Amino acid sequence: MLSTYPSSLLLSRELPNLDYRLKRDRFDETWEAPLATLLGLGRAAGADFVEFFLERVNYINCLAEDDTIASISPRLSTGAGVRVFRGKADCYVSTNDLTFNGLKAALEKGLSILGLQLPAPNAYIPAINLKLLRDYATTKGKDSWFAGCSSIREMGEVLLDANQQLQLKANHVQSRRATYFRDWQEVLVASSDGTFARDIRLTQSVGFNLLCADGIHRTSIGQRAGSTSDPNFLRAWDYKSTAEEVAESAGKMLYADYVESGTYPIVMANQFGGVIFHEACGHLLETTQIERKTTPFADKKGEKIAHESLTAWDEGLSDSAFGTIDMDDEGMPAQRTLLIENGILKNFLSDRAGSLRTGHPRTGSGRRQSYTYAAASRMRNTYIAPGSYTNEEIFGSIDKGIYCKKMGGGSVGATGQFNFAVEEAYLIENGKITKPLKGATLIGDAQEIMNKISMCSQDLGLAAGFCGSVSGSIYVTVGQPHIKVDSITVGGR
Amino acid sequence: MTNIQELANYVRDSASQIGVQKFDIFGSSVDETSVQVDSGEPKQVKASNRSGVTVRVWNENNNVGVTSTTDVYPEGIELALKTAYEASFFGVKENVPDFSPEALAPITANTETTAPQAPVAELIETLISAEKELLAAHPAIAGVPYNGLSQRDLDRFYLNSEGATRHEARSYASIYLYSKTDEEGKKPRSAGAFRVSRNLQNLDIQACLQEAAEKTISHLNYEKVKSGKYRIVFSPEAFLSLLGAFSNLYNAQSILDKQSLSTPESIGKQIVSPLLSVCDDALHPENIAGETFDGEGTPTRRISIISDGVLTNFLHSAGTAKRLDAKPTGHANIGAKVTVSPHFYHVFSNQPATQTYSLDAAENVIFIDDLHALHAGVKALQGSFSLPFDGWVVNNGKRTSIESATVAGDFLEVLQSIIFVEPEAELTPAGVCPRIWVDNLSITGE
């Protein structure tokens, strides 16, 4: 049933009598009236800014182990979060209750936490004038995405076929796993500055995990691909060639020697190698880090912070990339943000709170895992731009070093110290790749390492990843061409 | 909290309408408030009241389907049941999960340990005061970038179509303080501390800020450490984080999935130094957030995992116990694939030490206080790790902070190279554990 505005200007005492019946299965214009009323209530209570974030999720995970489907796990989720600002202080309250009274209770709790009181019974509650709904889902045809995705049966069939390919290609197999998830999310943002926006996101990922063992030798190799916006993603997965790559990597790493620890020049492969920039620099360009005073780059805008060969971007616009979003979780359209140009720091990534507290303009980077988190400044698709060198020139510049072909995860701490694991590595001797190595961890200091990325190749590649931080785990893209780091500490045995 | 009997009734009614006779449901409800502060002002206050349930249904072919939902109103539960029923036709055909044989067994442990929540204003004032005190502890401490004080009421329940009904309620409060230094010409240094208690009144905030201050100050004068093999002392927190990272050693589901360093035949084998004994004990009196039943309704209990170096038990769900001819141990997490996880470790030694060691007298040992990036640096299926850490070189009681370094090794070799388990245990979020001395581990510094 459509909700209606009150016939006259609303008095505070009339709030309990409102009868908004909200659609459970779609966020659309019918949510305008209740949200406008609640936003008005928040402002009338004295809040400087109020924002509602509504979310519905239909998620499914499918796991194939060896030749059986081990689990099919659907998850249905609905919830909302309300953020209230008073000055530079803010409060975030989340709830599963999407009824008008449930949302009102969450708002009241937020107001009371900030010391704000509801208007007196005779006070008028002026509804906020929300802008025309900016509906990315409808204008971009996303409402049909869910129906176009693979069925449960198709998920199972693809994963079992894929696992069979792994068995055919690999040796000394101890266990094979193929995993897939589909995360369908509908969001609605309404805030007291008039923002009113809806979007649907479809994020999917598929991958292998292969464990091989031969006596005391063991190796586990994982590989994952991810996409947004493509209902046909699973159908298009080229699992035959992926299985071949994974099997080949496992074969090489099974008998690899442990890396000898020390300081080396390294070549880092393209695609997931981009995790070095994500950890060593990307996080430090989020306004969240400026607020916490945990970035050495806080006052360096316009200054040289990296080698002159390095240019880097963060954006939400690449077709189908894992971190692509049409709007952020604060309702702002995504954009392309130049972070570093020829070594000079150009911009930070900012959400609303970060902009309020640091003065850096918003960049459509307010992101969150779900309604249980307030948005924070987070990366989207982040990559080092291609350079002018060839891979041959890069390898040829190294007498003894390490080729980091495949990276694992990593992290950066409060002091700018970062680290990340190398899944697949090789020794470089006299410009050539020689023997495989395992057990390497790279550690360093963000400020130092950015000046040591001295050569960038022309082969930019992107890879899907997951990023955990203050607003939960989100989908991101990392990327880079092949790069050379002049020296870095490599931990090993 | 959703009324369990009410929930049971409408689950039963909905299930009946869609033709489901056998089902179970596990759920939880959380009411929490947390605050952060920055330079004497509240920065963000978060409050949440949310619920979620996972339903399992068995169809007429006895295949099981599962769905989780946060919508615990009748319409949401009905949709979840329908989705689970649909999924059941694609569920596993072998080793299909079943109710725990202990889902109706009596629980003797206390299932209600709650405390009233403190007003938000008191949380904010308390944390501002702690931040102020920490900033005043040393001129070099320039900020407390990560801090938080939170309180949580947690309700959990389990019920099934054979009449099992479990419920428990817990309250607890926790604080973390993570301070950072800023000195001219020196790199910033940081360290933190964490405390948990039943409620705000019993939270030892003074001890937390004192630990955070002492650790941060101890890292001010740092040096690089030379790469090489060292005798290592793991702090309780560091050792438990390694033990947890390699929990596939005694996780029955991992073993059955061939995703473990153990096999079913590993029980009874001497896998580590006889100096080491480990139990998992959800009901340990120090475990503030202890759970009295698992996701399948099985009562939790103290389980010996390693006794004098011998692997004595695996951690089980109902399904793994059945397959390995054992009893469920209360470690199951409900799901389409039931997983198994530990609750709360108790690490100790039964063996009288033939040689004792002390950090006051030791020379050139490395005391590892905190391991980082376990998600990236641990190869749980290979048994190896390579991890950055916070710690000190210790010489005759003098501690010198290490600028940055990694420790690497094979976890089974680490366990076999234990030379001393100190007698005094410390409480950590993951369990109770003393400091553990290990010989001959690789450190990469400069």
State the complex-level ipTM: 0.90
Whether the pLDDT of residue A2 is over 70: the answer is: no
Give the gap in angstroms from C-alpha B432 to the nearest C-alpha of chain A.
26
| pLDDT bracket for residue B1 (50, 70, 90) | very low
Non-local (6+) Cβ contacts of A358 within 8 A are A287, A290, A291, A348, A350
A chain contacts of residue B188, beta-carbon cutoff 8 Å:
296, 414-416
Task: Confirm or reject contact between A372 and chain B (CB < 8 A).
Answer: yes
CA distance A49 to chain B (A): 14
Does A73 contact B337 at a Cβ distance shorter than 8 Å? yes
Mean pLDDT of chain A: 94
What residues of B are in contact with residue A63 (Cβ under 8 Å)?
337
B2: pLDDT confidence band, cut at 50, 70 and 90?
low
> Phi, psi at residue B304, to the nearest 5°?
-80, 125
The two beta strands, A472-480 and A381-384, are parallel
Distance from CA of A491 to the nearest CA of B (A): 5
- Chain A residues with beta carbon closer than 8 angstroms to that of B1: none
Say what the pLDDT of residue A8 is.
61
What does the pLDDT read at residue A6? 52
Has residue B96 got a pLDDT over 60?
A: yes
- A334 pLDDT above the threshold of 90: yes
Question: Which residues make Cβ contacts (< 8 Å) with residue B73, sequence separation at least 6?
Answer: none
Q: Which chain A residues are closer than 8 Å to B142 by Cβ?
A: 293
Q: Does residue B260 have a pLDDT over 80? A: yes
Task: Determine contact: A58 vs chain B, CB below 8 A.
Answer: no
Q: Which amino acid is at B138?
A: H
Q: Which of A79, A174, A218 sits opposite B50 (nearest CB)?
A: A79
- Of B352, B391, B444, which Cα lies nearest the Cα of B237? B391
Residues on chain A touching B257 (C-beta within 8 angstroms): 65, 175
Q: What is the interface size between A and B, counted as CB pairs within 8 Å?
A: 229
Taking residues A212-241, report their average pLDDT: 95
Among A67, A69, A73, A249, the strongest candidate for a mutation testing the B interface, having the largest count of B CBs within 10 A, is: A73
Search chain A and give the residue with CA nearest B146: A292
Name the A residues in 14-43 with CB < 8 Å from any B CB.
24
Task: Nearest chain A residue to B337 by CA: give it.
Answer: A71
Task: Determine contact: A120 vs chain B, CB below 8 A.
Answer: no
Residue A262 contacts B, CB cutoff 8 Å: yes
Residue A3 has pLDDT above 60, yes or no: no
Give kind and range of the element (H or E) at residue A426. Answer: strand A417-429
**Cβ–Cβ of A71/B180 closer than 8 Å?**
no
| A148 burial via Cβ count (<10 Å: 0-12, 13-18, 19+) | exposed
Least confident segment among A368-372, B10-14, B143-147: B10-14
- A491 and B188 within 8 Å at the Cβ level: the answer is no
| Residue B75: strand, helix, or coil | helix
CA distance, residue A76 to nearest chain B CA (Å)? 5
pLDDT score, position B250: 98
The residue-averaged pLDDT of A65-80 equals 95
**Cβ contacts (< 8 Å) between A22 and chain B: which residues?**
none
Do residues A178 and A70 make contact, with C-beta atoms less than 8 angstroms apart?
Answer: no
Å between A370 CA and nearest CA of chain B: 12
Arithmetic mean of pLDDT, B253-261: 95
What average pLDDT score do residues A397-401 get?
A: 97
- Interchain contact A88–B (C-beta under 8 A): yes
| Over residues A35-45, mean pLDDT | 96
H helix or E strand, kind and range, residue A267? strand A262-268
B76 within 8 A of B50, measured Cβ to Cβ: no
Dihedral, CA atoms, B132, B135, B136, B137, nearest 10 degrees? Answer: 120
Does residue A149 have a pLDDT over 90? yes
Token readout for A125 is 């509650």
Confidence check: pLDDT of B340 > 60: yes
Is residue A294 less than 8 Å (CB to CB) from chain B? Answer: yes
From the centroid of its chain, how far is CA A281? 16
Q: Quote the tokens at residue B109.
A: 């442990």
Which residues partner with B234 through β-bridges? B368, B436
Poorest-pLDDT segment among A121-130, B144-153, B212-221, B336-345:
A121-130
Q: Kindly determine whether residue A445 and residue B143, on different chains, have CB atoms separated by under 8 Å.
A: no
Tokens of B229: 């093999």
Considering only the beta carbons, identify the residue of A74, A372, A414 that sits closest to B180: A414
Please give the angle made by the CA atoms of B108, B114 and B118, to the nearest 5 degrees. Answer: 170
Over 90: is that where the pLDDT of A443 sits? Answer: no
pLDDT in tens, B165-181: 999 999 999 999 999 99
Interface check A279 vs B, CB under 8 A? no
A94:B67 CB<8 A: no
pLDDT tens-digit map of B366-402: 999 999 989 888 999 999 999 999 999 999 999 999 9
Q: Residue A140 pLDDT > 80, yes or no?
A: yes
Q: Does the structure show a pLDDT above 70 at A7?
A: no
| A residues 191-250 closer than 8 Å to B (CB) | 211, 218-220
Q: In the predicted model, is pLDDT for residue A232 greater than 60?
A: yes
Residue B297 scores a pLDDT above 50: yes
Tell me whether A356 touches chain B (CB under 8 Å).
Answer: no
**Cα nearest neighbour of B374 on chain A:** A410
**In angstroms, what separates the C-alpha of A260 from chain B's closest C-alpha?**
9
User: Which whole-number Å values give the CA distances from A53 to A3, A118, A145, A190, in the listed order?
Assistant: 19, 21, 22, 7
**Residue B216 reports pLDDT greater than 90:** yes
- List the end-to-end C-alpha distance of chain B, in Å, as a whole number: 55
| A415 vs B: CB within 8 A | yes
Q: How far apart (Å, rounded) are the C-alpha atoms in residues A83 and A81?
A: 7
Q: Which of A74, A95, A445 sits opposite B83 (nearest CB)?
A: A74
What share of chain A in percent tops pLDDT 70? 98
Among A150, A147, A148, A145, smallest CA distance to A200 is for A145
Q: For chain B, what is the mean pLDDT?
A: 94
Cβ-proximal residues to B354 (8 Å cutoff; 6+ apart), any chain: none
Nearest to B406 among A110, A263, A443 (CB): A443
- Is the pLDDT score of A1 beyond 50? no
Global pTM value: 0.93
Which of B28, B31, B41, B45 best tests the A interface by mutation, with the highest count of A CBs <10 A?
B45
State the pLDDT confidence band at A492, using cuts at 50, 70 and 90. Answer: confident
- Residues of A in Cβ contact (< 8 Å) with B121: 115
Q: Does B34 touch chain A (CB under 8 A)?
A: no
Question: What number is the average pLDDT over the span B96-120?
Answer: 94
- Phi, psi (deg, nearest 5) at residue A15: -55, -45
Q: Which of residues 385-444 of B touch A (CB under 8 A)?
A: 386-388, 404-409, 442, 444
pLDDT of residue A236: 97
- Whether B25 has a pLDDT exceeding 90, the answer reads yes
Distance from CA of B36 to the nearest CA of A (A): 10
A70 vs B: CB within 8 A: yes
Q: Is B383 on the interface with A (CB under 8 A)?
A: yes
**Spatial distance between the Cα atoms of A303 and A280, rounded to a whole number of angstroms:** 17
B74 vs A475, residue with greater confidence: A475
Whether B259 and chain A come into contact, CB under 8 Å, resolves to: yes
Locus of tokens 């004032």: B125
SS3 (DSSP) at B79:
helix
* C-beta atoms of A94 and B42 within 8 A: no
- B238-258 exposure pattern, b = at least 16 Cβ within 10 A, e = fewer: bbbbbbebbbbbbbbbbbbbb
Q: From its phi and psi, is residue A271 left (phi > 0), alpha (psi between -120 and 50) or beta? A: left
User: Who among B46, B143, B386 is closest to A492 (CB)?
Assistant: B386
- pLDDT band at residue A446 using 50, 70 and 90 as cut-offs: confident
Q: What are the pLDDT digits (tens) for A215-224?
A: 989 999 999 9
